[in-house]
Amino acid sequence: MSVIKAVLFDLDDTLWPIVPVIKRAENLLFQWLELNVPAVARRVSIEGMRARRQALMETDPVYQLDLRALRHAVLVEAFIDAGEDSRLVDEAMAVFSRARNEVTLFDDVKPALGRMRGKLALASVSNGVSDLEAIGIAHLFDASIAAYSFGRAKPDPAIFHAACDALKIRPAEAIYVGDDPLLDVVGAQKAGLRAVWMKRNGLGPDRSLPEGVRPDATCSDLIELERWISS
In this structure, the chain runs to a length of: 231
- The Cβ-side half-sphere exposure at 32, using a 13 Å CA radius, reads 19
Buried b (16+ CB within 10 A) or exposed e, 101-116: bebeebebbeebbeeb
Tell me the pairing of strands 174-178 and 143-146. unpaired
Q: Distance between CA 62 and CA 56 in Å, rounded? A: 9
The model's pTM is 0.92
Mean pLDDT of the residues in the chain: 95
> Is residue 214 predicted with pLDDT exceeding 70?
yes
Domains of the chain: 6-17+103-230 (3.40.50.1000), 19-100 (1.20.120.1600)
In contact, 12 and 128? CB cutoff 8 Å = yes
- What are the tens digits of pLDDT across the range 133-170? 999 999 999 999 999 999 999 999 999 999 999 999 99
Write the pLDDT tens digit of every residue in 102-137. Answer: 999 999 999 999 999 989 999 999 999 999 999 999
How far apart are the C-alpha atoms of 145 and 159, rounded to whole Å?
Answer: 7
Maximal CA-CA distance, the chain: 62
Q: What is the pLDDT of residue 203?
A: 65
